[in-house]
Structure 1
Amino acid sequence: MKQQEINFLSDLRKINSAPVLHENQKIKLLNELAPYLNKADWFTVGIMASSSMQAIIALKTMENRFNWTAMKLVTQVKENGPVFLKANQKTGDIHVRIEFGLGEGILLGCQYNEESKNADTLGPFPLNFFD
């Protein structure tokens, strides 16, 4: 896969599928991401992956890294195929559905309890970004 010119979180908004990142790009993006993570009251996570297992592993990695309470799988798929996983930290629910035509990656929604603050959706990050 061709290396993308990704230097800032805003560069990710221009693409539909997560890029391959060098370690120095990952570190730079994690540093830029830190203030968003610290300000948000809770998170939603959207994961586009080639399988349900791959998406769940990426989410569980995020739960471990950020010491989130484990969320529960409410809706899952029985067939194989590309999926979209939607996790809501506030409700603790995870829903997975088959979805064709998506890219691959993690979308992180930084949510706020105060309605006057707009949610920030960041990504797509590579599925292994939070390892």
Structure 2
Amino acid sequence: MPRILAIDYGLKRTGIAVTDEMQIIASGLTTIPSETAITFLKDYFAKEKVERVLIGEPKQMDYTPSESAKLIEAFVEKFKNNFPDLPFERVDERFTSKMAFQTMIDSGLKKKQRQNKALIDEISATIMLQDYLSRKNF
């Protein structure tokens, strides 16, 4: 069974998470510089079968687009142009960074380790993907 991949795209960094082949568990894959995202994805898709991609959609509390929405829309357009046959979905990414930070605290990471923004982005993508899997399986 092909994997599902989640992207938490940001101005500087992009967190990426992926499912196992059975689409049961979401795991953080990596964090990359955002300007290399399309190149990274081309390489990854050449090696692994992916049936769907989730791309975070930043929203305010009132569901209006956040300040970073335009940046992410530009990435979505590049994604569609480079991977026209690969289905993707936009998913709400509100609170994922806060949840990622709390996960780091709960897992006992030291303060210095919790300041690693790349790790926060990767965990955020993992949270988005696990939430999607939970909803999908109901």
Question: Normalized against structure 2, the TM-score is what?
Answer: 0.30
